[in-house]
């Protein structure tokens, strides 16, 4: 038995007793007051003990314990029975339940690495079972909207006012829940001035994971909305997002689009207004034009950043929650997306619904307090240790494929696609979304050699084959395809003879079809600087050039060899700059050009090569 278990068991009995008294009698009786006082002493002792401990979740657990104590003291000092019930129901009990969960995770799982694989398998199984089970219908509300905030009250005020303006609360089927996560400004006073019932005010910031950590215990809506306090609601936002759930199967979260400069992951769209409070009326006009429900604009994604999200209320399943190991913001969304992909849940970006996003105000506040880059540096390895793959290198994004798709001429249906090593399937789903918008049926086959990614693709492709290697690809391909995509960078694939590999793929293309591949260009300025001893890349990218497992292909020679093999007209090349960590790229290029005595077209090719961190290659099958 762990040191805390007997204490927490007694505290649980206290919580159950006080809750029963409050709900049956409506008042905190003298015996209940004494029990709650004993609860304060017990949980306070837990906080004191944790102050001397070390561990992944220890500081978070300590803060939860301190918050539970503070909220219990508020309940004891409440002037009315309604206040006591509110403090207890919306703060004390949820805080205690989450504290108990995190202590179990810390001491029974995280301190026993041999148990983590089984724990992950059990969690995935719980997600999949929750997806397959019949949905509950016994909800008090249609929707619960959660707005968490950590300082930045001016943004919270804008968010809440927009919700009241563009959400129909008049029917009584939507509830609002606010969470003040230990703010030091006027956030608590502002939230308390609002007319809604469920208000959570914490004394100590705990970073409320995906907005559900504490509120999961009090939501009563069939659907739960996480609404960032730096988002701004717009006309028909909620109805449009709910329409996706009504029409599609197995959807977990639906996320709206927003202004592209304030979100990554290609989730935003261009806008015609400024990202300021003063331009919010212009924003609303823009959103009103955009927010016309259109299923053709629903994109299935492999990863989503849910600055606003609508999810089904599955919170009676304990495992349906964010992983608390991501204690410093970053990669938590990546992790939850991995859990959804691998359990068969779908993630939908609704581009027919625009909600403004000021851009990470709450998370930036947390990040700033904890040190620049520290969150990325600390949390990226957490993902790797859990899933055994890197969260960034594994996305499977296909640079420039949109340009190549515009040139594709397909004369038959269904369109046949082969994707080799799709990784997290971001590129695979991009292709599926493209043909969905065109209302053309598409069949996607996948080949996977790395077993770590097999679970990512099992629900995404129409068929999946696991091969031990790509050495004998020719023996595994049957028929022809309109597109053959290599989802992983060529540097990361064990292909001993690269030109024959492309020849094999080319032989299995329809006329006018194309092969797509990409590679890391280690000749680029950014990658050159990353390979040196510089602070930023070694902090943010600890494995720029691993000692094993990645080949440094000679980019220019590879492109030239492909042109010789398939003709200059058949091969197109795109150079993508994805790094922005260093200054001085222009000077580097000029000096290099002078050293090479390059001029004219040759100078242009040198510039492309030195600025392109990723090289995308398209090989088209020409008419004979």
- Average pLDDT of the segment spanning 120-127: 98
Q: Which residue has the higher pLDDT, 80 or 409?
A: 80
At 197, give phi and psi (nearest 5°). Answer: -90, -45
Calculate mean pLDDT across residues 611-618. Answer: 90
CA distance 617 to 210: 38
What DSSP letter does each residue of 189-241 carry, written as one string? HHHHTSS-SEEEEESS----GGGTTTGGGT--EEEEEEE-TTEE--TTHHHHH
First to last CA, the chain: 75
pLDDT at 602: 74
Distance CA 590, CA 186 (A): 53
The pLDDT-based confidence of 583 (bands split at 50, 70, 90) is confident
Q: Cα separation of 347 and 359, whole Å? A: 21
Distance CA 560, CA 470 (A): 23
Fold of domain 124-387: Spore Coat Polysaccharide Biosynthesis Protein SpsA; Chain A (3.90.550)
Whole-model pTM: value is 0.92
pLDDT tens digits for range 472-493: 898 999 899 999 999 999 998 9
Lowest mean pLDDT among 324-328, 433-437, 466-470: 324-328
What per-residue confidence (pLDDT) applies to 348? 98
Q: 190, 110 in Cβ contact below 8 A?
A: no
Phi, psi for 375 (deg, rounded to 5): -65, -45
* pLDDT over 90 (residue 550): no
With pLDDT > 90 as the criterion, what percentage of the chain qualifies? Answer: 77
The mean per-residue pLDDT over the stretch 26-46 comes to 97
The residues, any chain, with a CB within 8 Å of residue 605's CB and separated by 6 or more, are none
State pLDDT tens for residues 253-305. 999 999 999 999 999 999 999 999 999 999 999 999 999 999 999 999 999 99
Q: Is the pLDDT of residue 372 over 90?
A: no
Domain ranges of the chain: 5-111, 124-387, 401-620
The Cα–Cα gap between 128 and 252 comes to 11
**Can you read off the two tokens belonging to residue 620?**
């088209």
Tokens 């700059």 sit on residue: 577
Q: Which of 5-9, 273-277, 587-591 is predicted with the least confidence, judged by mean pLDDT?
A: 587-591
Backbone angles phi, psi at 176, to 5 degrees: -110, 135
On the question of pLDDT at 371 being above 60, the answer is no
Give the Cα-Cα-Cα angle 233, 237, 238 (nearest 5 degrees): 110
Q: What is the pLDDT of residue 524?
A: 81
pLDDT at residue 601 above 90?
no
Tell me: pLDDT of 370 over 80: no
For residue 542, the model assigns a pLDDT of 46
Phi-psi region for residue 211, left (φ > 0), alpha (ψ -120 to 50) or beta?
left
Residue 512 has pLDDT above 80, yes or no: yes
**Quick one: pLDDT at residue 179?**
96
Q: What percent of the chain has pLDDT over 70?
A: 93
pLDDT value for 611: 80
Provide the pLDDT for residue 528.
75
- Give burial (CB, 10 Å; 0-12/13-18/19+) of 135: exposed
| Residue 414 preceded by cis peptide, ω within 30 | yes
> Among 323-332, 355-364, 490-499, 565-574, which is the least confidently predicted range?
355-364
Q: Where are the alpha helices (DSSP H) in 394-497?
A: 401-406, 426-437, 454-457
pLDDT confidence bin for 69, thresholds 50/70/90? very high
Residue 431: C-alpha distances to residues 263, 441, 461 (Å): 22, 11, 11
**Residue 442 has which token pair?**
């598409």
What is residue 552's predicted lDDT score, i.e. its pLDDT?
78
Residue 513 neighbours by CB distance under 10 Å: 24
Residue 328 DSSP label: T
**How many residues are recorded in the chain?**
624
Segment 542-557 shows an average pLDDT of 66
Helix/strand/coil for 490: helix
pLDDT at position 448 is: 97
Which of the given ranges, 443-447, 494-498, 600-604, has the highest pLDDT on average?
443-447
Q: Which of 190-194, 203-207, 242-246, 445-449 has the lowest mean pLDDT?
A: 203-207
What phi and psi, each to the nearest 5 degrees, are found at residue 240?
A: -65, -40
Please tell me the predicted confidence (pLDDT) of residue 608.
74
The answer, yes or no, to whether residue 525 has pLDDT greater than 90, is no
Mean pLDDT over residues 611-617, rounded? Answer: 89
Task: Name the band, by pLDDT with cuts 50, 70 and 90, for residue 138.
Answer: very high
The rounded Cα 26 to chain-centroid distance in angstroms is: 42
Of the candidate ranges 63-72, 376-385, 397-406, the one whose mean pLDDT is the lowest: 376-385
Architecture of the domain whose range is 401-620? 3-Layer(aba) Sandwich (3.40)
Q: What does the pLDDT read at residue 3?
A: 93
Listed in sequence order, the residues at least 6 apart from 236 whose beta carbon sits closer than 8 Å to its beta carbon are: 166, 291, 293, 353
Residue range 415-436: mean pLDDT, rounded: 97
- pLDDT of residue 444 exceeding 80, the answer is yes
* Residue bearing the bigger pLDDT, 390 or 536: 390
DSSP element (H, E) containing 149: strand 141-149
Do 303 and 387 meet the contact criterion of CB atoms below 8 Å apart? no
Q: Which of 60-69, 393-402, 422-431 bottoms out in mean pLDDT, i.e. has the lowest?
A: 393-402
Q: Is 551 helix (H, G, I), strand (E, B) or coil?
A: coil
Per-residue pLDDT tens digits for 405-417: 998 988 788 999 9
- Check residues 322 and 611 and name the one with the higher pLDDT: 322
- With a cut of 60, say whether residue 545 has pLDDT above it: no
pLDDT at 526: 76
Q: Do domains 124-387 and 401-620 have the same CATH topology?
A: no
Is the predicted pLDDT of residue 507 greater than 90, yes or no?
Answer: yes
Name, in order, each residue with C-beta under 8 angstroms of 340's C-beta and a sequence gap of 6 or more.
Answer: 127, 252, 253, 346, 347
**Residue 408 C-alpha from the chain's centroid:** 31
495-510: average pLDDT: 94
């Amino acid at each position: 038995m762990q040191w805390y278990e007997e204490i927490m068991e007694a505290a649980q009995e206290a919580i159950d007793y006080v809750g029963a008294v409050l709900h049956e009698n409506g008042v905190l009786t003298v015996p209940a007051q004494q029990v709650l006082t004993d609860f304060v002493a017990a949980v306070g002792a837990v906080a004191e003990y944790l102050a001397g401990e070390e561990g992944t979740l220890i500081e978070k657990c300590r803060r939860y314990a301190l918050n539970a104590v503070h909220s219990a003291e508020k309940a004891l000092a409440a002037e009315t029975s309604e206040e006591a019930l509110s403090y207890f129901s919306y703060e004390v009990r949820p805080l205690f339940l989450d504290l108990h969960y995190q202590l179990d995770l810390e001491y029974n799982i995280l301190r026993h690495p041999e148990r983590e694989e089984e724990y992950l398998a059990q969690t995935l199984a719980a997600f999949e079972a929750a997806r397959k089970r019949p949905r509950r219908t016994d909800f008090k509300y249609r929707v619960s909207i959660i707005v968490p905030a950590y300082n930045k009250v001016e943004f919270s005020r804008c968010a809440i006012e927009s919700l009241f303006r563009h959400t129909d609360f008049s029917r009584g089927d939507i509830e609002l829940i606010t969470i003040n996560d230990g703010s030091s400004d006027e956030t608590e006073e502002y939230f308390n001035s609002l007319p809604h019932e469920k208000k959570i005010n914490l004394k100590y910031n705990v970073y409320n994971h995906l907005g559900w950590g504490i509120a999961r215990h009090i939501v009563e809506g069939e659907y739960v909305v996480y609404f960032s306090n730096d988002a701004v609601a717009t006309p028909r936002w909620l109805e449009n997002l709910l329409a996706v759930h009504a029409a599609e199967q197995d959807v977990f979260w639906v996320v709206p689009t927003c202004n592209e400069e304030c979100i990554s992951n290609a989730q935003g769209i261009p806008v015609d207004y400024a990202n300021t409070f003063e331009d919010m009326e212009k924003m609303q006009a823009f959103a009103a034009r955009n927010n016309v429900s259109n299923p053709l604009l629903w994109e299935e994604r492999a990863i989503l950043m849910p600055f606003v999200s609508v999810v089904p209320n599955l919170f009676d399943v304990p495992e349906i929650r964010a992983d608390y190991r991501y204690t410093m913001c970053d990669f938590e969304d990546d992790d939850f997306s991995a859990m959804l992909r691998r359990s068969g849940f779908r993630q939908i970006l609704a581009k027919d619904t625009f909600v403004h996003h000021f851009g990470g105000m709450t998370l930036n506040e947390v990040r700033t307090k904890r040190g620049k880059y520290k969150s990325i540096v600390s949390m990226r390895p957490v993902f790797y240790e859990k899933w055994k793959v890197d969260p960034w290198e594994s996305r499977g994004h296909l640079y420039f494929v949109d340009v190549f798709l515009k040139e594709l001429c397909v004369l038959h249906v269904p369109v046949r696609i082969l994707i080799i090593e799709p990784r997290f399937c971001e590129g695979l789903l991009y292709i599926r979304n493209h043909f969905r918008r065109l209302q053309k049926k598409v069949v996607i086959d996948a080949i996977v050699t790395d077993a770590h990614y097999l679970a990512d693709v099992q629900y995404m492709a129409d068929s999946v084959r696991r091969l031990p290697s790509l050495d004998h690809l020719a023996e595994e391909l049957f028929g022809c395809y309109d597109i053959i995509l290599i989802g992983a960078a060529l540097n990361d694939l064990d292909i001993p003879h690269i030109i024959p590999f492309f020849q094999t793929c080319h032989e299995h293309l329809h006329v006018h079809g194309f092969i797509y591949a990409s590679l890391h260009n280690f000749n680029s300025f950014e990658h050159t600087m990353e390979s040196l001893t510089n602070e930023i890349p070694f902090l943010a990218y600890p494995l720029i050039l691993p000692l094993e497992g990645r080949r440094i292909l000679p980019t220019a020679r590879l492109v030239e060899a492909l042109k010789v093999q398939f003709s200059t007209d058949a091969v197109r090349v795109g150079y993508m700059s994805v790094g922005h960590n260093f200054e001085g790229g222009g000077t580097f290029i000029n000096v290099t050009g002078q050293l090479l005595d390059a001029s004219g077209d040759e100078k242009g090719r040198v510039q492309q090569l030195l600025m392109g961190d990723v090289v995308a290659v398209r090989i088209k099958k020409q008419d004979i």
